[in-house]
Chain A
């Protein structure tokens, strides 16, 4: 799943509940479970499944509704051919990103992978942090969409392993009272296969 989609997934529940109410969200949640036998959080992580369930509810208007939901969470502005700026407007999603950058160990990992992509074992070795907790934190960052898989490399034992880099190149946090918003630069190649990005471009 695309990193940007993972980031946005955290805000879908909030927006759906705000727009259509908790009872509607619960009905969608039940339908997801009845059809796929998975929780809605898992379905949100794979938008194609949530998309099919939403289509059952809202028919041809689903694309429009998804676009509205995603636009409430973020906006994307194309800067150059290589890079775009995304603005995360949803406070819950922004808080999740803010907390990740505020965690000292996660910050070390994010700094390490900012300019150079690395495999997980390489990142653990270079971070000089405790192995087990660093591994868990890297997994969390991947799950939250803040690290993106960019390719493969060979490990010391010859195995082919994934290489990761930070999803955002430059991140600016704006805090006003209790509201947090984020402006972040992201490489256009990370947006290519994003369901969210294609939805809000419609």
Chain B
């Protein structure tokens, strides 16, 4: 499995030669595999959105009330941060393809910093909610508290989904650090950037999930705050 890979040639009965696709150096195969993996992420979060939508139809008013109490400013800032980070990640890939390795690395670092900022802001949000008595296994979310069923479910799902999304962000940061290491080792280069492409793809799905999480959790109750409900 070492040395440059030379594709095999298959010959048909007329003597025409056909190049054989091997598993080695299969760019499209790598891309296809990762797209398929992204589909599993969609199915996974899709199931959670299904549960969310189901309970929303059971308890519409509770969901609006609970949503109104979330911090739209911090959530909004986080949305912007993630969208910008998706941009930096994509720009870095373009730079890598154009041969600007240094610029690409800079862009990856920018993405890592933005991702960290996202986590820190998320931390502030969760802390504030904890102080209001809203956290898993805590105060208002315990079975004996008098908080409405719908609100308990809303917050239970909120912590599950934003928590799982946060785990994806942490994994993403890890992947980017690994990517930097691979770039420094010369394993990812202008011509051989499948790893970069796939991690950029991963980062896209992470921000895409948030693009759905943000309106469903933060925005549905926005009308209640401005009085337009």
Co-assembled chains A and B: no
